[in-house]
Amino acid sequence: MLKIRNLVIDPPLLLAPMAGLTHSAFRTVLLSFGGVGLLSTEMLSARRLPAENKFISPYLVRTSLENPLSYQLLVTATKEVGPAVKKLHSLEANAIDLNLGCPAPRIRKAGGGCLLMGRPEEVRAIVSETRRLTSLPLSAKIRLGEEFNEAQLRDFCLMLEGEGIDMVTVHARLRKEQFCRKPHYHWVAKVKQWLSVPVIANGSVFGVDDARRCLEISGADGIMIGRGAVSAPWIFRDIAQELYGFRGQSNHLDLPAIFYQFATNLEERFRPERRLGRLKEFTHYFKDNYLFGHRLAMAVQSSSNVEEAISSAVAFFERNEPQGLTGMQAEA
């Protein structure tokens, strides 16, 4: 169990912010299995956030079940902090996370994400202002930097802690390294040694064995999971059971039912124009549970509306059995 300020994260398993994926429809699918200690929004532009309508914005729609929920902010200038934090207070955010690790070119071009790791004084001002304006738990998500530079990374992390960051999540890759590269968990271990606040490891956790190895090497206080949770929304439950003694819902899996529940959530909570793209994003990862999953993804990707996509998925599920669900009882 982790506790940062008044927030209890139990078990210490966190959902990673992912554009187009970590919205309400997906978060409630995760909750149906249990085991996730802290949920997350998608990355939210601090500049645009104050104008977003919480009742219709796909970034802000939230059910009463989605607790605790961390809101991740993409900040590019200190002046954006005040209005954004005020908005998050009105939304009853449970925690705030600062995005200092996104390597996407468009985010860097806008002056945010991991670009800020090369501008520590700007980050200092942003963190200091955010800390001044809120008593909510405040975390930061970072990468290892442009290159391996122990002194530079150490100074940056200590600065974050010194300015009031309550928890640091480390995506254990350099800025230019793709997801196919193995994460450098031993560098997370360095960060853990430097800091007194909790350190969370992130990168390439797709099952219990990955989680165990990550914790053994990094010594981290917890794990943040992204893509692995979209492919297998039950991953938090599995890891929580094996590593933290969590006893939750049944291990029985009905993959088509998971897909349909996700689609139903979209239809219930999002405007029509906001549904199909998110269904396609989800299917891109969920297809990995099937030997011929690329056919499912292609059918959904080529659909012009949600109804067509679901019809294509129904036809696929009728012809295909899931694969590789080790230790689980799956039903097609």
| Active-site residue set | 102
41-to-62, 228, 308, 329 alpha-carbon distances in Å: 9, 16, 28, 30
Nearest CA among 240, 178, 267, 293 for reference residue 35: 240
Name the residue among 86, 66, 72 with its Cα closest to residue 41: 72
- Look at residue 253 and give its three-state secondary structure: strand
Listed residue (55, 54, 36) closest to 44, CA to CA: 54
The rounded distance, in Å, linking the Cα atoms of 82 and 104 is 25
**Both tokens assigned to 69:** 């929920």
Q: What angle do CA 66, 268, 46 make, to 5 degrees?
A: 55
The token pair at 231 is 């492919």
Give me the phi and psi of 71, to 5 degrees please.
-105, 120
Dist. CA 214–CA 205, nearest whole Å: 8
The alpha carbon torsion through 224, 228, 234, 238 (nearest 10 deg) reads -70
Q: Which amino acid type is present at position 207? A: G
Residues near 105 by Cβ (< 8 Å), separated by ≥ 6?
none
Query: DSSP strand E in 244-304: where?
Result: 252-254
Joined tokens for residue 106:
């468009």
